[in-house]
Amino acid sequence: MRNMLTVKRPSPTTVLYKVSTRSANNTVPARVRRTLIGLVRILIGLTLLCILIAKAHEFATPRWKVHTDYASTFLPPALTELATTSASRIPWLYLAPISLAIFSVIFRKGYTTESLLVIRGMGVQTTTSSPTYLSTATTRFIPTNMIQDIFVYEAFKGFEVRFYLAIVVEGEHDVVVVFPSILPRRRVLEEVWRGAKSCLYEPKS
């Protein structure tokens, strides 16, 4: 898996390291491809939502059926017909798990982004993006006075040796692993390690 490292320095005392599995290809064909994939996801999601509404319409009360009939007037006739036909043929026993599986694919990002924000005199903040568009990223802030050391070490993952960037936090038995999901290459980790240590602490006079 290819990892893209970007470095931003908003100020002399702040640096942001970001690693992502998302493709950095910004050519016109790549942008068109991403746009088409997004449109297809939206179309599939809307179609499935219409099928679920049509299925619920079969068991709805007369008052609820008035609302669903009104909502269907804003949809294309072909989509309404497809939703009604599909809902009448697929029982809930199959429709519910199929819908759950499809929606989980639609809302999944398909890439991971992790970052390390270093602020001199304050501390560091680690961030891992959420796997879906429906949840928020996981973040943690570690004050400078709680950081005992930052280092790169190696460990076994399965049958291969992987390198980790770790933060030793005072009072904690386990280290905090930076970029835990992506685990970028050693060269990337060493660049982040050198930059983070030089930015975090005041230079010696």
Residue 65 has pLDDT above 80, yes or no: no
Residue 166 has pLDDT above 90, yes or no: yes
Quick one: 15 exposed, middle or buried, by C-beta within 10 A (0-12, 13-18, 19+)? buried
- Domain boundary residue, one of 90, 107, 124: 107
Structural domains counted in the chain: 2
Query: Closest by alpha carbon to 115, among 198, 202, 195?
Result: 195
Q: Where does the pLDDT of residue 31 fall: very low under 50, low under 70, confident under 90, or very high at 90 and above?
A: confident
- Domain boundary residue, one of 81, 107, 133: 107
Domain that holds residue 47: 28-107
Rounded CA-CA distance 94/197 in Å is: 55
Task: Say whether both 12 and 38 belong to one domain.
Answer: no
Lowest mean pLDDT among 5-19, 64-78, 179-193: 64-78
Task: Say whether both 39 and 117 belong to one domain.
Answer: no
Q: Where does the pLDDT of residue 204 fall: very low under 50, low under 70, confident under 90, or very high at 90 and above?
A: low
Residue 70 has pLDDT above 50, yes or no: no
Task: Say whether both 146 and 181 belong to one domain.
Answer: yes
Q: Where does the pLDDT of residue 57 fall: very low under 50, low under 70, confident under 90, or very high at 90 and above?
A: confident
- Domain boundary residue, one of 107, 133, 158: 107
What is the structure's pLDDT at 110? 87
Task: Say whether both 94 and 133 belong to one domain.
Answer: no
Task: Say whether both 166 and 182 belong to one domain.
Answer: yes
Lowest mean pLDDT among 20-24, 44-48, 165-169, 188-192: 20-24
Beta strands at 147-157 and 160-169: parallel, antiparallel or unpaired: antiparallel
Q: Report the Cα 114 to chain-centroid distance in Å.
A: 9
Residues 6 or more apart from 106 whose CB is under 8 A from it? 41, 44, 45
Task: Say whether both 98 and 165 belong to one domain.
Answer: no
Task: Say whether both 120 and 182 belong to one domain.
Answer: yes
Question: Can you tell me the mean pLDDT for 120-143?
Answer: 94
Residue 144 has pLDDT above 90, yes or no: yes
Task: Say whether both 177 and 130 belong to one domain.
Answer: yes
Task: Say whether both 126 and 173 belong to one domain.
Answer: yes
Task: Say whether both 128 and 146 belong to one domain.
Answer: yes
Task: Say whether both 135 and 159 belong to one domain.
Answer: yes
Task: Say whether both 17 and 75 belong to one domain.
Answer: no
What is the structure's pLDDT at 203? 66
